[in-house]
Amino acid sequence: MPRKGARRPVRPLGDLTDPHALPALGEAFLAHMAAVGMSPQTIKSCRFALREFFEWLKERGVARPADVTRAVLLRYRAHVMSKRRHDDDRPLALQSRIMRLLPAKAFFRFLVKEGYLASNPASDLELPKLKRGLPRHVLSVEETEQILAVPDTKTTLGLRDRAILELLYSSGLRRSELIALAVDDVDAGRGLVTVRSGKGGKARVVPVGERALQWIQRYLDEARAELVLDDSDDDGALFLSSWGGALGPNTLSAMAKRYVDAAGVNKGSCHLFRHTMATQMLEHGADVRFIQEMLGHALLETTQIYTKVSVLKLKEVHARTHPASRPRPPHDDDDSASS
């Protein structure tokens, strides 16, 4: 029996005996993604989407890429757009539906580029547009401090969790980026953390505040060794689980949400700290392009949602504090004074 936290073997996309069939070519596509530096989480999501796609095609007798026509893809798109959740029968979120269709488009683009297909049946397959909305919740400075104060830093896990929360707040790292950090990725002397595989496989260097670095150092000095069950299994991951392996994404989210709820804020989990860092820095004068670099956004437009949040906060403060912000009934003398 594998120990708790051990990685499960990857299930192939299907029967791989035919090198020209969809499952084998799908595995070649996923291997290509890994070779060009795509993140393990992205590849895992793509594998899930392709498996669903190939199983749907198999049920309809389609086994090879050349048999996939535009009409077939339109039917699959309709199938995905009508898909519902298993647990409560609600429609899938729009982003979930898009993430089931995007890998199919990318797969056929790969097949044409590598010479497996002469033409791309998915080239003009339109996908629904995902509207980028404002973050639903952003913490105030006071709320952030309340959450950071919750972990019991007298315990091993409490000290680890405080270091994690401080780093999330200070750096704005994504959940997957924090999980992938190694001990050697933290440069305390220069106040930097190296993200070696961000979204899209892109690396970047992120500044980290002195307070977060102090908590990370305390965790390294006092807690991390307590979490290593066997030195031979220590792969150098910065933050370890209670069973000595790297933290899982769901474990990290549940941990962050537990502290958010305990502080009485109840607004989210890991990504909440990313939104909060960006918004608070903008409110205190940071240039939006600096925030773009910190967050690892490819497009400035993605980062500019935080400027909207900052303006909304400014309007709220204006309405609460400006003497003329509240409406009052006009008086006759106002009219005479203006005439």
If one counts every other C-beta atom within 10 angstroms of the C-beta of residue 50, the result is 24
Cβ atoms of 114 and 91 within 8 Å: the answer is: no
| Predicted confidence (pLDDT) at residue 231 exceeds the cutoff of 80 | no
In a domain, 339, yes or no: no
Shared-domain flag, residues 104 and 155: no
Out of 162, 174, 175, 224, which one is annotated catalytic?
Answer: 174
Out of 70, 196, 271, 308, which one is annotated catalytic?
Answer: 271
Show the domain range for 107: 22-113
58 a catalytic residue: no
The alpha carbon of 33 is separated from its chain's Cα centroid by a whole number of angstroms, namely: 18
Task: Dig out the tokens for 301 from the structure.
Answer: 């437009």
In a domain, 14, yes or no: no
- Residue 99 three-state SS: helix
Q: What percent of the chain has pLDDT over 90?
A: 37
What's the number of CA atoms in the CB half-sphere (13 Å) around residue 104?
30
Burial of 106 (0-12, 13-18, 19+ CB in 10 A): middle
Shared-domain flag, residues 246 and 208: yes
Dihedral sign, CA of 15, 20, 21, 24?
A: positive
Number of domains within the chain: 2
Shared-domain flag, residues 170 and 243: yes
199 a catalytic residue: yes
Out of 77, 199, 224, 275, which one is annotated catalytic?
Answer: 199
Instruction: For residues 101 and 291, give the distance between their C-alpha atoms in angstroms, rounded to a whole number.
Output: 30
Shared-domain flag, residues 73 and 186: no
Shared-domain flag, residues 168 and 302: yes
Cβ atoms of 173 and 195 within 8 Å: the answer is: yes
In sequence order, what DSSP letters do the residues of 268-302 get, joined into one string? Answer: -SHHHHHHHHHHHHHHTT--HHHHHHHHT-SSHHH
Cβ atoms of 22 and 54 within 8 Å: the answer is: yes
Shared-domain flag, residues 191 and 243: yes
137 a catalytic residue: no
Q: What is the dihedral of CA 233, 236, 241, 245, to 10 degrees?
A: -30
Instruction: For residues 330 and 125, give the distance between their C-alpha atoms in angstroms, rounded to a whole number.
Output: 58
pLDDT at 174: 84
pLDDT per residue as tens digits for the range 59-95? 999 999 999 999 999 999 999 888 877 666 677 777 7
Shared-domain flag, residues 149 and 108: no
271 a catalytic residue: yes
331 a catalytic residue: no
Max avg pLDDT among 81-95, 115-129, 260-274 = 115-129
- Can you give the pTM of this predicted structure? 0.61
pLDDT per residue as tens digits for the range 310-322? 555 545 555 655 4
Q: What is the CATH number of the domain that holds 169?
A: 1.10.443.10
Shared-domain flag, residues 106 and 151: no
219 a catalytic residue: no
Q: Which residue has the higher pLDDT, 335 or 257?
A: 257
Out of 77, 100, 224, 297, which one is annotated catalytic?
Answer: 297
Over residues 42-53, the mean pLDDT reads 92
